[in-house]
Chain A
């Protein structure tokens, strides 16, 4: 059963704490993405990776970090520098790293809440 899995479904962060959100795909996709979604708003790109061991900042990268050590995994760390982390975080993947007309497929999301 192919797809994108994100864990955990809910995550609670204490003040000053770093937390890591997991994203795994078994679609053999080259590119992976992290988006943030705030209530009633659209999707904003945090980071993306087109190839293993390489990634680029999106529009709102401050306070976040990523790694891409394996093709199937793209974890996102929300650092203590991110002052307003409460949001719904979505991971996506795309078959080709570049090229026209390839669709991004999304995981089920992780909701991050601050205690």
Chain B
């Protein structure tokens, strides 16, 4: 079964610190890697996404780093803020694109 493994399960960071969430995948046919942010009681919202032809993508305080040879990608949140406290999901899809495979999620808490 195609899997995406996400770690850590939970993460506590102080305000202003860097939050790092990691994901690893098995299927080399995956070629699209989005990250979603979900607040309690709400639907997930797309945060940032990357394709394997680049090693890094940055949008504001959020950066995806991608290591194709290791089949790993990570989300870095710089200058973490209490408002970033949410659950973050990594995901991956292949060339057909019709299905996303999600990681298990990381609950991030940013303390003031």
Contacts and interface: CB of A to CB of B under 8 A. Distances in A.
B43 interface: yes
Classify chain A's interface size. 20 to 34
Given A41-B104, A90-B43, A106-B45, 14 more contacts: A4-B43, A42-B104, A90-B44, A94-B98, A98-B96, A100-B32, A100-B51, A101-B31, A101-B49, A101-B51, A103-B49, A104-B100, A108-B42, A109-B42
Contacts of B95: 100
Interface of B: 6, 31-32, 34, 36, 41-46, 49, 51, 89, 93, 95-100, 102-105, 107
Interface of A: 4, 31, 40-43, 45, 48, 50, 58, 90, 92, 94, 96-109, 111
A90 B103 CA distance: 16
